[in-house]
Amino acid sequence: MDLTLLKKIVQTPGAPGHETPIRALIRKEVEGISDEISTDSIGNLIVRVKGDGPKVMMAAHMDEISLISTHVDDKGFIRFSTLGGFDPETLVNQRVWVHGTETIPGVIGGKPIHTQSDEQKKSKTKLKELFIDTGLPGDRVKEIVRDGSVVTRMGELMELGDCLTGKSLDNRISVFILIEALKKASSCNSDLYAVFTVQEEVGIRGARVAAQHIQPKIGIALDTTIANDLPGSGDHESCTSLGKGTAVKVMDKSVICTPSLVAKLEEIANAHDITHQREVLTAGGTDTSGMQYLIGLGSYVSCISTPTRYIHSTVETVSKTDVEAGIDLAAATIEEIGNFNPERH
């Protein structure tokens, strides 16, 4: 596994609507393994591998949950809102990068336990109570940070036993998987569009734009999913488990996947001895739904998902073997998905 590349992908900033840095990194990685590369008006990076089969869109979103500044006070403290779903508790005492006229470090401050009232100690943190401290004077912060400057979280990828942990593995692990699958696939029997999408975390926006343009017959997303295989959770609550393979999505709150395509992905996995499990998620949503809702057409959809613990935190955790299985399944899918016949399954 190319951990050097994965670390770059995880640590390169790319807030929703501000994906330029991560898009440039991805483009450099895929230039030698594609027939056409383009960027559309919303910012999706579209990598085409030409073939004689049906149009297939494989989508991995490259944006990461982030913050956006809303006000700088006279002391230089920055108030902010969210770009994507956050539990405010996960933001307290975190280090961040503030991307203004220059990029500067900051910390999200909070009251120390010594100065909290009894009521504050018992209540959950509220977003409106949080602020970013850059350590700079107010006048200097106002020069650098305008309202609407994006903020991304700090955090290095690290190995954790048989796992990997860090921030933004949702969905940078799938960006990595799709890049590696494109490199690994020895052939392609479809007209493949590998799309690194934008603004998924704020409403699946990029995938919808790309899908309406491409009009794929088959849409396969690559994303993370919940691995709730933790103390205090019963087996019936786990959704997926780390170390049991890549996951094939059956449903989430935004989509019911095409049963025949789910069966096809499982067939490919079985034929190549790729360890896999089923994902039945009763919450959340991914680019999968953005590819299914084609106006006047629709498409067959599913998703190759990476089981992930502690999603939307700075310690998201995945299994190395699950990531490898995801690469293997995505590569085999690129080679074989053109043979998909919905009537046969």
Q: What per-residue confidence (pLDDT) applies to 115?
A: 77
CA angle, 249 then 52 then 43, to 5°: 60
> Would you name the residues annotated as active-site residues?
200
Q: What per-residue confidence (pLDDT) applies to 114?
A: 77
% of the chain beyond a pLDDT of 70: 100
Residue 170 pLDDT greater than 80, yes or no = yes
Q: What per-residue confidence (pLDDT) applies to 111?
A: 73
Q: What per-residue confidence (pLDDT) applies to 198?
A: 98
For residues 292-313, average pLDDT: 93
Residue 93 pLDDT greater than 70, yes or no = yes
The rounded mean pLDDT for the chain is: 95
Q: Are 100 and 78 in contact (CB under 8 A)?
A: no
Place of tokens 């998924």: 200
320 CB neighbour count, 10 Å cutoff: 17
For residues 210-227, average pLDDT: 97
Q: What per-residue confidence (pLDDT) applies to 237?
A: 79
Q: Are 104 and 136 in contact (CB under 8 A)?
A: yes
Find how far residue 100's CA is from the centre of its chain: 24
Which sign does the torsion angle of CA 144, 145, 148, 153 carry?
positive
Calpha distance 98→68 (Å, rounded): 9
Question: Which CATH number does 3-64+167-339 carry?
Answer: 3.40.630.10
Which sign does the torsion angle of CA 316, 176, 15, 96 carry?
positive
Q: What per-residue confidence (pLDDT) applies to 110?
A: 75
For residues 32-51, average pLDDT: 96
Among 280, 287, 285, 329, residue whose Cα is nearest residue 311 = 285
Name the amino acid, one letter, at 58.
M
For residues 220-242, average pLDDT: 91
For residues 292-301, average pLDDT: 88
Alpha helices in 118-188 (DSSP H): 118-122, 138-144, 169-184
Q: What per-residue confidence (pLDDT) applies to 109?
A: 83
DSSP-assigned beta bridge partners for residue 131:
109
For residues 31-57, average pLDDT: 96
Residue count of the chain, please give it. Answer: 345
Asked if the domains at 3-64+167-339 and 67-153 fall in one CATH topology, the answer is: no
For residues 240-255, average pLDDT: 97
Model confidence at 112, pLDDT cuts 50, 70, 90, reads: confident
Q: Which residues contact 142 (CB under 8 A, 6 or more apart)?
A: 72, 76
Residue 280 pLDDT greater than 70, yes or no = yes
Model confidence at 345, pLDDT cuts 50, 70, 90, reads: low
Q: How many CA atoms lie within 13 A of 97 on its CB side?
A: 16
Among 47, 30, 335, 13, residue whose Cα is nearest residue 188 = 335
Tokens, residue 71: 């006000």
- Report the predicted TM-score, pTM, of the whole model to 2 decimal places: 0.96
Q: Which residues contact 102 (CB under 8 A, 6 or more apart)?
A: 144
Tokens, residue 249: 């999505």
Find how far residue 144's CA is from the centre of its chain: 29
Q: Are 304 and 246 in contact (CB under 8 A)?
A: yes
- Regarding the domain delimited by 67-153, which CATH topology (the fold level of the hierarchy) does it fall under? Elongation Factor Tu (Ef-tu); domain 3 (2.40.30)
DSSP-assigned beta bridge partners for residue 218:
56, 300
- Judged by average pLDDT, the poorest of 152-166, 194-208, 231-245, 271-285 is 231-245
Domain boundaries, the chain: 3-64+167-339, 67-153
Distance of CA 333 to CAs 22, 269, 327, Å? 25, 9, 10
